[in-house]
Structure 1
Amino acid sequence: MELKNLLTVKKIIETGNYKNAARALNYAQSTITFQMKQLESELGIQIFEKNGNRMELTQAGLSILPIIDRILASTKELICYKDSIGEIRGTLKVALPETLITYQIQPILRAFKEKAPNVKLSLQVMNCYAIQENLINGNIDIAIHYEISKYPRSITTNAIKTYPLVLVASPALDENQRDFISSGQKKSICHIQNDPNALYLKIFNQYLKEKDIVLDTELELWSIETIKQSVMSNLGIAYLPRFTVETELKQGKMIGIETEINNGEITAVFAYNKIKWMSPALRLFLQLLETSKLVEISE
């Protein structure tokens, strides 16, 4: 049985189909098809079935996935084994949202690179739902995100910190546009946002719906810094974790707008699969997280 065929199974799960997996692995698509036929012949089962443009695991494929993960984890354990002088090597895959990587986790990343310079640190920025899915599927080693739902029992989760959220605007915003408490309004204001699936945006959009407040337009920008600059230019308002705009609020470049949002905070967590082998790189990163000033609560 070829180890590369097992790696291809994981890449198909990650990318969604044979074509995308071939592109990611720099293979011809016919190579991917051959690998899967070879593996299915060896195991006597069908691993994938087509559903539209996606290849999804069959029930048999789901059943063997934990075994594939154990084999690949054992292989990774050999590759990452410390040499005689105790250097940590290998690859560590960490997924996290833009707000946390930009404003909270930088000191931990810097400390990790100082202590483990020979580790390839792969940072993947995505929304919380995609991060959780990728950890469950075994595509990443550590998930850092805002808490959205419970993980399976095989996943260990630790709280980092609970952060307040804030609605911000430019000081130049007209006084009569600053009312976000009265119900039944149609406001000629632009809602500036990044990923519409971001947890804090779902909280704000639900509040607008409950209050029957309709904003005139939306502007989607995939950069928190660009959103901040746009708010300061009075192009609209934004609902963000307060730590992302704390400096601008203190400097008077932005103002906080009062709301009646009851659950106006989010909790950041980090999670990893406790069943998988813990590489020295993963152990070090977890130690840095757990001993940092960020972490307030551990479960």
Structure 2
Amino acid sequence: MDLRRFITLKTVVEEGSFLRASQKLCCTQSTVTFHIQQLEQEFSVQLFEKIGRRMCLTREGKKLLPHIYELTRVMDTLREAAKKESDPDGELRVVSGETLLSYRMPQVLQRFRQRAPKVRLSLQSLNCYVIRD
């Protein structure tokens, strides 16, 4: 069971066509078709029927749709929870000598800020003899 296939189905329904879904998902239309076919085989149901020039959800597809929305909502919640765990916050106090603070720390702090934007930084420049104590 590949979760991307469920996302593909949800996107086809939201976008109204396989072509627009493929554009939104940044993949080919044949990939979207393949994902839908795989879901149809996996669940032994036809999800779409062609009416005129449009693809419409079948009754079976409509039954699955609320569950797919719930599944994608849970996936989003899981991603958010994982992101919060890997996104540090709090406060960091840095005491450094003036030379190091002026010449080396800007690059270090810039990288740190990119990796931990929620951390509040406190910088203080002191004489190296004071820092040692």
Pair in the same fold by TM > 0.5:
yes
Shift of 1:38: 0.6
In 2: Cα distance, 1:64 partner to 1:72 partner: 12
Shift in alpha-carbon separation, 1:84–1:19, aligned structure 2, 3 A = closer
Q: Which amino acid aligns with 2:76?
A: K
Corresponding position of 2:45: 45
Secondary structure of the residue aligned to 2:6 is helix
Q: Which structure's CA Rg is the greater one?
A: 2
Secondary structure of the residue aligned to 1:39 is helix
Corresponding position of 1:209: none
Q: Which amino acid aligns with 2:10?
A: K
Larger strand fraction of residues: 1
Corresponding position of 2:5: 5
Corresponding position of 2:85: 83
Higher relative contact order (CA 8 A, sep 6+): 1
Deviations, residues 23-65 of structure 1 (Å, cap 9, x unaligned): 2212111111111111100001111112233221110001011
The TM-score, its normalising length taken from structure 1, stands at 0.28
Q: Is 1:17–1:53's contact at 8 Å kept on the other side of the alignment?
A: no
Secondary structure of the residue aligned to 1:67 is helix
Corresponding position of 2:71: 71
Equivalent pairs: percent with the same residue? 38
Corresponding position of 1:29: 29
After the TM superposition, which residues 1-299 of structure 1 pair with which residues of structure 2 at under 5 Å, given as runs? 1-81=1-81, 82-83=84-85
The TM-score, its normalising length taken from structure 2, stands at 0.60
In 1: Cα distance, 2:62 partner to 2:80 partner: 27
In 1: Cα distance, 2:6 partner to 2:87 partner: 32
In 1: Cα distance, 2:20 partner to 2:87 partner: 40
Secondary structure of the residue aligned to 1:83 is helix
Secondary structure of the residue aligned to 1:5 is helix
The aligned length equals 89
Q: Which amino acid aligns with 1:83?
A: E
In 2: Cα distance, 1:13 partner to 1:85 partner: 33
Shift in alpha-carbon separation, 1:85–1:31, aligned structure 2, 3 A = closer
Larger helix fraction of residues: 2
In 2: Cα distance, 1:43 partner to 1:86 partner: 41
In 2: Cα distance, 1:17 partner to 1:25 partner: 12
In 1: Cα distance, 2:34 partner to 2:87 partner: 42
RMSD: 2.2
- Segments of structure 1 that go 5 or more residues without pairing to the other structure are 88-116, 119-299
